[in-house]
Amino acid sequence: MEKRLFTLTIIGAVMCLALQAEAVEFQPLGFEASSMGGAGVASAKGSFAPYYNPALLAEERHAVEISLSGGVGMREIDVVDHIDKLADIDIDQTFSELENAYNPSDPLNSTIPSSVQSDFTTIKSELNALSQRNGVQLMPSASLGMQIGNFGFGAYGVSEASAHAVIDPNRLDIIVQIDVLGTDWYATYDEVSNTITDFTLDPTAYQNSSLEYAINNKLTYVKLTGLAYAEIPIAYGHQFSTDFGKFDVGASFKVMPGYTYDYSIAVDTKSNNLSDELDNAKKKDTSFGIDVGLLYKPEAISNLSLGLVGKNLNTPKFDTASGGELEVEPQIRAGIAYDLLGDRVTLALDADLTENETFIPNYNSRFVGGGINLHPFSWLSLRGGLMENISESDEGIIYTGGFSLGTKWIQLDVAGQLSSKKGEFEGEEIPRYARVQVSLVSKWF
């Protein structure tokens, strides 16, 4: 009875946290969960148990399992194509061409090249589009996982590096500052009529509504933010047998070395240069985290597993390059799994109980997903599934799949995820969300 009360107390505490917590995303890792709709809280036994649910360490299928994985993910929400169009034009160059075109003796009758008119029309159109919610995330991952009996060790590296455009909607007019014989004049340009409509010494309109002023004073810019860290756990799972079934309880203490990113760059920086710019934005710091997991297997349905995990319950904190602090708030996720046909088929489903923040402003993550794992032979596994971010609709349904080949001693595994909804880059469709992972897995005894 005392053991059951202890387990129920932990469940109650975790569920209370689920009512109020927000966090960075619960990143899908692993050679099985990633291809089964992200579901792993009740099914990721072995070397990824310390990451998904340390209680699963009490359900080890092999005495030792070691995995080495690497992958990359991305999310794009209405930003890449717009920024690259601005980069192709070069906003500074367009302003310079306008300033060089004015006629100092008769400014209002200056002859403006048609290319300047076309470029400013595009610039304003792209900036207006970017004034809506936008962002792009790069999510590389790498991990070394180890399950030895009921213990788990390793290094699970996750990251969210994000870029989003910040546009001052009140400063989009084309007003340029021009030096005339040592005196600052302000020329207002109308791209519809391709004429300079005003030429004045008064700086008020320039300061209050000029795009040039907004860019020069970093009121319109691209913000780079993110967090990359490794979870290095010491985890343990223990099983309690009762008349109602089996309760597994697990916990993980994690050292979390990582980098935070916080930097601002020009709004027309090429998207393929963002990774180089991120090197200027990072700050190294180390924190620690605590995870607690539960698993219940009812006596009446022995092949059914019900899981619950609370990650980062202590709210790990990292210092940022700008002098601030980034918090990784608790993540709560529930899962269910069912084995059938002599464990040759596994069905699994996970659901985030917290709405987790991402580094794209006002864009949250709360995934529900599941899938099936078919392993008809010891050397072959085929998996598929679906997942969806129920907090946002931009990505649509995300299709997942994967396979593994090889003996128990060494297996090659490939897993992928691809969203149904598409964005655009250089005239080509790109997925709103995608991820791929490759793993080597070795199981002993």
Interval 348-372 mean pLDDT: 94
Same domain, 323 and 358: yes
Same domain, 159 and 196: no
- Count of structural domains, the chain: 2
CA distance 445 to 356: 39
Residue carrying the six token digits 């010891």:
378
pLDDT cut 90: percent of the chain above it: 61
Interval 281-307 mean pLDDT: 93
CA 335, 341, 343, 344 dihedral sign is negative
**Residue 339, C-beta contacts closer than 8 angstroms, at least 6 positions apart:** 303, 305, 345, 346
CA distance 86 to 75: 20
Q: Is 86 helix (H, G, I), strand (E, B) or coil?
A: helix
| Residue 427 scores a pLDDT above 80 | no
Same domain, 179 and 277: no
Same domain, 345 and 330: yes
Quote the pLDDT of residue 79: 87
Quote the pLDDT of residue 13: 36
Same domain, 313 and 364: yes
Q: Is 127 helix (H, G, I), strand (E, B) or coil?
A: helix
Quote the pLDDT of residue 273: 60
Last residue within a domain, chosen from 216, 251, 279: 216
Q: What is the CATH number of the domain that holds 270?
A: 2.40.160.40
pLDDT cut 70: percent of the chain above it: 92
Confidence of residue 179 (pLDDT cuts 50, 70, 90): confident
C-alpha distance from residue 412 to each of 26, 38, 63, 151, 154 (Å)? 24, 19, 20, 24, 19
Residue carrying the six token digits 């795009």:
211
Interval 368-388 mean pLDDT: 95
CA distance 238 to 309: 15
Structural domain harbouring 113: 80-131+169-216
Confidence of residue 404 (pLDDT cuts 50, 70, 90): very high
The alpha-helical segments, DSSP class H, found in 90-193 are: 91-101, 114-130
Quote the pLDDT of residue 18: 35
Same domain, 256 and 402: yes
Last residue within a domain, chosen from 216, 245, 275: 216
Same domain, 51 and 118: no
**Residue 66, C-beta contacts closer than 8 angstroms, at least 6 positions apart:** 47, 144, 145, 146, 147, 441, 442
Quote the pLDDT of residue 8: 35
β-partners of residue 248 are 239, 295
β-partners of residue 177 are 186
**Residue 137, C-beta contacts closer than 8 angstroms, at least 6 positions apart:** 73, 74, 75, 76, 160, 161, 162, 226, 358, 359, 360
Interval 129-136 mean pLDDT: 89
Same domain, 175 and 256: no
Quote the pLDDT of residue 21: 34
Quote the pLDDT of residue 271: 61
C-alpha distance from residue 97 to each of 221, 249, 274, 385 (Å)? 21, 68, 27, 54
Q: What is the mean pLDDT of the chain?
A: 88
Same domain, 86 and 196: yes
| Residue 280 scores a pLDDT above 90 | no
Quote the pLDDT of residue 56: 97
**Residue 419, C-beta contacts closer than 8 angstroms, at least 6 positions apart:** 395, 396, 397, 398, 399, 431, 432, 433, 434
Same domain, 256 and 155: yes
End-to-end CA distance of the chain: 35
- What does the pLDDT look like over 49-76, one tens digit per residue? 999 999 999 998 889 999 999 999 999 9
Q: Is 29 helix (H, G, I), strand (E, B) or coil?
A: coil
Quote the pLDDT of residue 22: 38
Quote the pLDDT of residue 33: 93
Instruction: Tell me the pTM.
Output: 0.84
- What does the pLDDT look like over 196-217, one tens digit per residue? 888 899 999 999 999 999 999 9
Same domain, 198 and 148: no
**Buried-exposed string 5-41: b where 16+ CB fall within 10 A, e elsewhere:** eebeebeeebeebbeebebbbbbbbbbbbbbbbbbbb
Same domain, 440 and 317: yes
H or E stretch including 6?
helix 2-18
- What does the pLDDT look like over 8-56, one tens digit per residue? 333 333 333 333 333 478 888 888 999 999 999 999 999 999 999 999 9
Last residue within a domain, chosen from 178, 198, 216: 216
